Amino acid sequence: MNEDIRDPQLQALFSQAQQDLSSERFTAAALIKIEQHQRRTKWRRMAIGLTVFVIAIPLQDLGLALSQALMVSLIDLPNNLATTLLAPVNSLGGVLTAVLLVLRLTQKRLFS
């Protein structure tokens, strides 16, 4: 690197450095810190995985119960074809979705 493009303040800072680290001590310290970081990362990942595993089963049960509750038919229709075609709007989930959509549109219109 050319001498005239170096920052003089940075050069002065490095020339005033009091501590001279041997390469073996520096390498050993760096390796210890890397191993500690890898160990902490491994334990964090295992803790997150265990937490997800423990929480996943109840969340799956909750999702299943919610989907079954939202599929409750509001009106019993005698015809299978009509029941199949109107299933998206003839359910608690359909009504809830329509209400949330109207609320969202109202909020956008009022506050935009």
Residue 61: which domain range?
22-70
**Torsion (CA) 23, 26, 28, 29 in degrees, nearest 10:** 180
pLDDT, tens only, 48-73:
999 999 999 999 999 999 989 888 88
49 and 63 both lie in a single domain: yes
pTM of the model: 0.45
Q: Which residue has the higher pLDDT, 26 or 53?
A: 53
Q: Do 66 and 26 share a structural domain? A: yes
Question: Is 30 found in the same domain as 66?
Answer: yes
Q: Would you state the structure tokens that stand for residue 106, as one six-digit string?
A: 């109202």
CB distance 90 to 67 below 8 Å: no
Q: Is residue 9 part of a domain?
A: no
Count of domains in the chain? 2
Q: Which H or E run contains 10?
A: helix 8-15
d(C-alpha 46, C-alpha 56), whole Å: 15
Look at residue 45 and tell me if it is in a domain: yes
Q: Are 59 and 79 contained in the same domain? A: no
Tally Cβ neighbours within 10 Å of residue 97.
14
